[in-house]
Amino acid sequence: MSHPPFAVTVDLVLMTIADGALSALMQRRAEEPFTGYSALPGGFVGVDEGLDDAARRVLTDKAGLAGGDSAWLEQLFTFGDPQRDPRMRIVSVAYFALFPHAVLAEAVLSRPDLRLTTVSNLGEPLAFDHAAIIAAAHGRLKGKLDYSPIAFALLPELFTLRDLQAVHEAISGTKINKPAFRRRMLGTNWIEPTGQRESDTPFRPAELYRKSAHVADWRAD
Amino acid sequence: MSHPPFAVTVDLVLMTIADGALSALMQRRAEEPFTGYSALPGGFVGVDEGLDDAARRVLTDKAGLAGGDSAWLEQLFTFGDPQRDPRMRIVSVAYFALFPHAVLAEAVLSRPDLRLTTVSNLGEPLAFDHAAIIAAAHGRLKGKLDYSPIAFALLPELFTLRDLQAVHEAISGTKINKPAFRRRMLGTNWIEPTGQRESDTPFRPAELYRKSAHVADWRAD
DNA sequence: GCAAAAGTGTTGTGATTACACCCATGT
DNA sequence: ACATGGGTGTAATCACAACACTTTTGC
């Protein structure tokens, strides 16, 4: 009883913006328990493996995401209810990671067991306590949106202010005033104009921005 | 290798304001490793015990805090570096808890292995990675100060606006303008006046306030 | 020229700060 | 009376929202 055995896992909430909505990558389970249910990608932590290392490994192996090194990855919360897994006592350290839409879209196309689901409307019951994990991820993301440059992790390298505003609206669930949003963002020093413009628009093309170099490795919990 | 054995512990950062500074309760270690070092109170999680339950148990057993039921207790972060404990692989779920000064002062008086240390100046090396855990707790506390009624957990039931301002200044490390702070707090609906006044002051006694009833069980991560 | 969205100027409002001042209490 | 901190009024500042407007592109 002095130090009973546990299994420790990581579960990953991989998010992006798809069709204007915050979405998460789900994996269809092939084994018991919860066979056929959608679940978050996850895996057991190795005895000599750090928690962040395990999360990055699951990112590349289980979800087939090459860009695992550069993605925004952040520990979220640890779920340890004794009944959360019917097989044994498992403590799961949940992470969330953010990607541009193209990265997750490609993963979904190449892997039939993966799909994207809308975070605010899951549409089906999930395996284990994964619905609660997703809710926690959404909450954290919403909370950090205003004071951290977290939204850029959901966009490609070049983006317009309209793209950025769409990300903010999808996460916060509110409409934002366009001129106010513009000036607020331009006042943060988080973005810099490239001089380039988008193309193939049936209207005036917007300027393309990129995330400023000095916020590239920004964090803060 | 599919699910290797881990030990899971909880470590607790128990904080209060002592002499105008944010302070944490430390316990002197009697056993190896790190014998004689100061460490955070902590303990192994039972196989059938929830994480929050384990944290509350350590609160009452190891630190002898009767008010464990009512204290503000919140999961902080999970530390799982493979080398963080020389004996074996231990994943530790860190919590922080907040108390009025009198509660921790009494615990320190009754237990010679306990003492209070200033969070911003620990003064000595700590066991394991506990300095990093304390830093994370301080950061979380600072971040939540402005948008959550978390400061009241560090004060007794009745307090003056000066007391509350001292708490904010101790946590944020900045001086705050008095009238501005007053009006901001009175505008939140987090506190209500009692009509009573402090006594035994060599100057004009300030009004005593209490935390409003409807924020008693407030949370949000 | 027209439609559609980019991008800017102007004004108003609410929150917060700074500073000055008055008030109440113990000695 | 006076020292000390409690408490309030007022004006300035800042961030942001609302709204109207001009600009630039494809068709």
Residue ranges per domain, chain B?
7-144, 156-215
Q: Which 8-state DSSP code applies to residue B151?
A: G
Q: Which chain B residues are Cβ-neighbours of A88 within 8 angstroms?
A: 3
Topology match between the domains A7-144 and A157-215: no
Q: pLDDT for A35-74, tens place per residue?
A: 999 999 999 999 999 999 999 999 998 767 766 667 899 9
Pick the CATH number of B7-144 from 3.30.2130.10, 3.40.50.300, 3.90.79.10, 3.40.640.10: 3.90.79.10
Backbone angles phi, psi at A214, to 5 degrees: -75, -5
Longest dimension (CA), chain A: 69
Higher-scoring residue by pLDDT: B147, A34: A34
pLDDT, position B5? 84
- Closest to B62 in 3D by CA, of B19, B15, B103, B107: B107
Distance of alpha carbon B75 from alpha carbon B78, whole angstroms: 9
Across chain A, what does the average pLDDT equal? Answer: 92
8 Å CB contact of A44 and B7: no
Counting one residue from chain A and one from chain B, the pairs whose CB atoms sit within 8 A come to 99
- CB within 8 Å: A44 and B4: yes
DSSP output for A4-19: --BEEEEEEEEEEEET
Fold of the domain built from segment(s) B156-215:
Arc Repressor Mutant, subunit A (1.10.10)
Residues 6+ apart with CB under 8 A from B143: A221
CATH code reported for the domain at A157-215: 1.10.10.10
Residues of chain B with pLDDT under 70: 1-3, 63, 66-69, 216-221
**What is the C-alpha end-to-end distance of chain A, expressed in Å?**
34
For strand C, the positions having any atom within 7 A of a protein Cβ are: 3-10, 16-20, 23-27
